[in-house]
Structure 1
Amino acid sequence: MLFNSFTFAIFLPIVFFLYWFVTKGNLRFQNILLLVSSYFFYACWDYRFLFLLIFSTLLDFFSGIKIEEARTNRAKTFWLWLSIGINVGFLGVFKYFNFFAGSFAEMIGGFGFKVDLWTLKIILPVGISFYTFHGLSYVIDIYKNRIKSERDFINYSVFVSFFPLLVAGPIERATHLLPQIIKERTFNYTRAIDGLRQILWGLFKKIVIADSCADVVNQIFNNSSEQSGSTLALGAVLFAFQIYGDFSGYSDIALGTARLFGIELLRNFAFPYFSRDIAEFWRRWHISLSSWFKDYLYIPLGGSRGSTWKKIRNILIVFVVSGFWHGANWTFIIWGLLNALYILPSVLIKTNRVNLDVVAKGRLLPTIKELGLIGVTFGLTVIAWIFFRSTSVGAAFDYLLRMFSKSLFTVPSEIPYVTLFLIAAFIIIEWLGREDQYALQKFGFKWARPVRWSFYFVNVWLILFFSGNQHEFIYFQF
């Protein structure tokens, strides 16, 4: 079930009505309803993989209890690695088996040996990377004595499979979400309206911005050998806005939807394209994943402590793993490696935590220096996105070579004026709302009510107008 579908537009109000008016505030009934609704939401994609979600939930639920009850470190370690091994094993089979098999065949073929390649003809279960990471963080936190195990299976299952975050995040922590699940919740009108406002902005990002960019991007990337350098540059920039509108739009809808049920999810985006360096970009892009890798991989490896070589090693490992998390293709690994190379200099000279505050805070416009830094950071990010979008490493390099040719300084063969106008309006609104949790949180509050509601109406009208050009969320494939 897609957030931008007619089915979800029916599903959400029904669950909302049952949640607040039929359960009558009974926490047990509310959580059971959330669990059943979440499983139905997931089954609408493919019911055959619902068993995998339930099995993963059972595995981590009982592993958490066993880790907590273990009397020796050896027993605790056994249950931890059993959970990690099985979870990562499922992830490896469904997501990475064909990649490793193909890479092995290519390597052996390079030595003159012919290999009959056998691959699994399976569908990647949607959201498997996200709910697997939910479970892994849970058992690791119990092992590290950060939290106690949850003894109520319904409560734990809601934590893993809460439908707003189930298929594309944000990646939640038990320390943040579980206390909200086991605590009584009462309806808050102001919070609900705020949630609806964030849902509206998320739908605008996805349907009006991302989906408008998608057709142009697909046309340019699929026919890159026929395009001028300027057209390829336009395609790369539009893809940057497509993936941002698509993924941050999903996160906004998820956070807004959760707020309707009295639950606050982790913020996942903080206006990343207004970043002044790559380190700041990664503090603002896919925040839940970046913090997950920081806490469960980077810091255990030693973080920024130790020798220069260890710092370089740790950063390379984290970004390469982050790239590989996104997909079983060398393009994602190169994308991760490229971002690691971007961020390494600032880490080594210890300038990676210079830009911690919002750019131009308290001011309408940035300085020339800030604008230049934002432009350079965005340009580097766009180049990296070319690898993310391309079907192969060869195609990405070919795209770059054609883009940085003499024809880069020509006029693009076709200019999508409407899409560019919408992006310009989008950037202005995002800039004006950059000090809030999301752009529309307080946007227009000083306007007269008729003006503010007219603005909302225009947003709704644009969403409906562009809704016929529907594309699946990009991060569903991860």
Structure 2
Amino acid sequence: MLFNSIDFAIFLPIVFILYWSISNKNLKWQNSLIVLASYLFYGWWDWRFLSLILFSTLVDYTVGRLLKIEENQTKRKVLLWISLIVNLGFLGFFKYYNFFLDNFISAFSFFGTQINVSSLNIILPVGISFYTFQTMSYTIDVYKRKLEPTTDFIAFSAFVSFFPQLVAGPIERATNLLPQFFKKRTFNYSEAVDGMRQILWGLFKKIVIADNCARFADVIFNNSADYSGSTLILGAVLFSFQIYGDFSGYSDIAIGTSRLFGFNLMQNFNFPYFSRDIAEFWRRWHISLSTWFRDYLYIPLGGSRGGMGMKIRNTFIIFIVSGFWHGANWTFIAWGALNAIFFLPLLLTKNNRNNIKPVAEGKTFPNLKELSSMLITFGLIVFAWIFFRANNIEHAISYISGILSPSLFSIPEFEGRGHSIVVILLLVIFVLIEWNGREGQYAIANLGHKRIRAIRWSYYALIIFAIGMFMPSVESPFIYFQF
């Protein structure tokens, strides 16, 4: 069920009314309704994959219970590995089986040995990378005694399957989200209004920004050999805004929807395209994944405690694994490695923690240094996105070669160029709104506090009008559903 679909527009109010009317007085009923609604929400794609969520839930719930009573460290490690093997096993089979098989066959073919093994027609379960990481965080934290394991199976099931963030995050930590299922929740009007405001902004990002950028980015990338260097640069920039509008839009809708039900999810995007260096970008982009890898992979590997060699090694591991998490393609690994290379000078010069606060904090405009830093960083990000979007490594290299051709200085030419001017104007307006609200949780978070009601509702009406005007006849899925 897509957030930008009629199905969800019907589903959400029904669940909301049931949640606050029938089950309002009973926490167990609220949690049970969330589980039922979440399984319906996920099963809308393919009910067969509900068994994966249920099995993962049963395994991690049981492992958590056993870890609570087990004191023998060897047996505790065995229990932890059972959870990791089950979750990573599901993820590895459904997402990476054919990738490893194809590369295994190619490696033997390179040495002159032919292996006849057929790949499998595997359907990737939606959101499997997200909910497996979420359940693993629970088991790891229980193993490390950072979290007391729950004995309430309904609450734990609700934590694993919570429908707003089930298929594309944020990847919530058990230490943050799970305790919220044990606290009495009462309807809060101001929280609900703020949630609706964030949902509205998320829909604007997805429908008005991401989907419009996708129309031209897809044409340019899919026919890159036919276009000039200037057109290819435009395609890369449009894809950069497409993936940001698409993914951060989903996160806004997820966070806003959660607030309607009395839950607070972590911020997943913090205006990343206003970053002044790559390190700042990764503190602001897909925060839930970046911090997950930091806490559960980077720090256990030694983090920044060792010498410079260890720091460089761990940095490359974290970025390459992050790239591979996104998909079974060498392009994602190249994208991760490229970001590690961009990050390396900051690490070597110990400047990776320089830009912590928002750019031009408390000011209307950035200074020249801040502006140039943002433009350079954005250029590096756009370059890396080429590998992320390309079909394969060869496509990425040919795309970059096309950019570096003499046609780089020509006027972009492609089908529908006239309408693209409208999209560019929308992007300018979008960037200005984001810049104005960059110190909030989301761009229009403070819209309700700084304007009189008539002006405030005029803004809402314009956003709703834009969404309605650009609403496609067929809903487009979110990019990160494939991950």
| CA displacement at 1:443 relative to structure 2 | 2.6
Q: Which residue of 1 aligns with 2:293?
A: 293
Equivalent pair of 2:24/2:186 in contact (CA under 8 Å):
no
Q: Which residue of 1 aligns with 2:22?
A: 22
Amino acid at match of 1:310: M
SS at match of 1:146: coil
Amino acid at match of 1:434: R
Equivalent pair of 2:164/2:258 in contact (CA under 8 Å):
yes
**1:454 lines up with 2:458 in the alignment:** yes
Task: Choose which of 414, 421, 445 in structure 2 pairs with 1:417.
Answer: 421
**1:477 lines up with 2:482 in the alignment:** yes
Equivalent pair of 2:276/2:373 in contact (CA under 8 Å):
yes
Amino acid at match of 1:432: N
| CA displacement at 1:116 relative to structure 2 | 1.6
TM-score (norm 2): 0.98
Q: Which residue of 2 aligns with 1:391?
A: 391
Equivalents in 2 of 1:89, 1:24: separation in Å?
A: 39
Equivalents in 1 of 2:208, 2:249: separation in Å?
A: 10
Equivalents in 1 of 2:118, 2:426: separation in Å?
A: 47
Task: Choose which of 466, 469, 472 in structure 1 pairs with 2:470.
Answer: 466
Equivalents in 2 of 1:177, 1:471: separation in Å?
A: 29
Equivalent pair of 1:68/1:76 in contact (CA under 8 Å):
no
**1:431 lines up with 2:416 in the alignment:** no
- Write out per-residue CA displacement over residues 68-108 of structure 1, whole angstroms, 9 at most, x where no aligned residue: 21120011001000110111111111000000000111111
Where structure 2 has 5 or more consecutive residues not aligned to the other structure, the ranges are none
Q: Which residue of 1 aligns with 2:33?
A: 33
What fraction of aligned residue pairs are identical, expressed as a percent?
59
Equivalents in 1 of 2:71, 2:177: separation in Å?
A: 28
Give aligned pairs, total.
478
SS at match of 1:300: coil
Equivalents in 1 of 2:15, 2:118: separation in Å?
A: 44
| CA displacement at 1:444 relative to structure 2 | 6.2
Amino acid at match of 1:168: A
Q: Which residue of 2 aligns with 1:114?
A: 114
SS at match of 1:301: coil
Q: In the TM superposition, what are the counterparts of 1:60-459 in structure 2 within 5 Å? A: 60-414=60-414, 415=417, 416-443=420-447, 445-459=449-463
- Write out per-residue CA displacement over residues 439-460 of structure 1, whole angstroms, 9 at most, x where no aligned residue: 0101364333222211111111
SS at match of 2:379: helix
SS at match of 1:13: helix
Q: Which moved more, 1:110-119 or 1:262-271?
A: 110-119
Amino acid at match of 1:460: I
Equivalents in 2 of 1:308, 1:74: separation in Å?
A: 33
Equivalents in 2 of 1:446, 1:435: separation in Å?
A: 14
| CA displacement at 1:241 relative to structure 2 | 0.1
SS at match of 2:148: coil
TM-score (norm 1): 0.99
Equivalent pair of 2:322/2:336 in contact (CA under 8 Å):
yes
Equivalents in 2 of 1:385, 1:258: separation in Å?
A: 30
Q: Post-superposition, which runs of at least 4 consecutive aligned residues in structure 1 deviate over 4 A?
A: none
Equivalents in 2 of 1:57, 1:444: separation in Å?
A: 40
- Write out per-residue CA displacement over residues 4-53 of structure 1, whole angstroms, 9 at most, x where no aligned residue: 00000000000000000111331111000001000000000110100001
Distance of aligned partners of 1:444 and 1:36 in 2 relative to their CA distance in 1, 3 Å threshold: closer
Equivalents in 2 of 1:299, 1:348: separation in Å?
A: 18
